Amino acid sequence: MYLDPAAEEAYMDAQVEIARRTLAESPRRPGAPDLTEAELGRAFERVYAEAVAEAGLGHTVTPATQLEQAGRATGRDPSTTQYLRELESAVREAPFQRAPGALELLSALREDGYGVGVISNTVGEPGRFLRPMLHALGFDRYVQSYVFSDEHPWTKPAPEIFHAALRDLGAQPEDAVHVGDGWSDIEGARRARFRAGILFTGLHSYGARYQALFLPPGWNQPPAEYEVGRLEEVLRLVRRLLPSQPAR
């Protein structure tokens, strides 16, 4: 599931705008600075960037916690309830699309007897907001486990979040491969001792803000051992890496 670059930029702008507005409408603590709305927005953006950096270290900072941290930094007492309510609407309105070939790949994997789980770093929105979108796009027919980082203490690349998915599937690391589009996917699979991590580059077209935060220069070093540009290639690789799987 993805957003095209223009939609990604608009979505991230909406996240900042919701946080800025929530902070602006929040009670000011005694002695707090009289900040402009633009300054409040920039304060949240700094907190968000710090949450992304923490995610790269394997640590979860939930969206609600990000707003609370921005509130402390600006001397405000923001309503996380209001923020999350508006954020949920923004997620619902975002034009998420299915990656070409995604359902066909998942269907083929399930027919071959492989278990299928999703591990997602949910830095900008709670996983519970994404579940209805994934359902609407047809993923629930094939996915047996969803593991969202905001529901756990860890993010990719921490091995613990990979092991949480394996527990749901009743699988062992040596019998698993992980497919993802970033460093945290490949490094996380290595740390979790998966059979392999497969880098998918077929949707490596991102908005400037997303690119700067999540894929800075050097993100792909060292290079992944396995790399594919189309999801159709994943099935062949999985069959080669894990040639025999019992039906599930």
Full residue range of the structural domain in which residue 152 is found: 102-241
pTM across the whole model:
0.92
**127 lies in the same domain as 86:** no
- Is pLDDT above 60 for 52? yes
**43 lies in the same domain as 112:** no
Per the structure, the count of domains in the chain is: 2
Residue 246 falls inside a structural domain: no
**108 lies in the same domain as 172:** yes
Nearest to 87 by CA among 6, 10, 16: 16
Identify the domain boundary among 72, 93, 114.
Answer: 93
Tokens (6 digits) for 45? 């953006």
Residue 247 falls inside a structural domain: no
pLDDT of residue 245: 59
Q: What is the CATH number of the domain that holds 168?
A: 3.40.50.1000
- Is pLDDT above 50 for 247? no
Q: Which stretches does DSSP call E strand in 3-144? A: 117-120
Residue 148 falls inside a structural domain: yes
Residue 62 falls inside a structural domain: yes
pLDDT classification of 204: cutoffs 50, 70, 90: confident
Task: Starting at the earlier edge strand, list the strands of the sheet with 196-200.
Answer: 177-180, 196-200, 226-228
Please answer whether residues 152 and 161 qualify as being in contact, where contact means their C-beta atoms are separated by less than 8 angstroms: yes
**77 lies in the same domain as 107:** no
**221 lies in the same domain as 111:** yes
Q: Which residues pair with 59 in a beta bridge?
A: 154
- Is pLDDT above 80 for 70? yes
Helix (H) / strand (E) containing 12: helix 5-24
- Is pLDDT above 60 for 246? no
CA atoms within 13 A of residue 125's CA, in its CB half-sphere: 22
Nearest to 109 by CA among 225, 209, 218, 248: 248
**140 lies in the same domain as 223:** yes
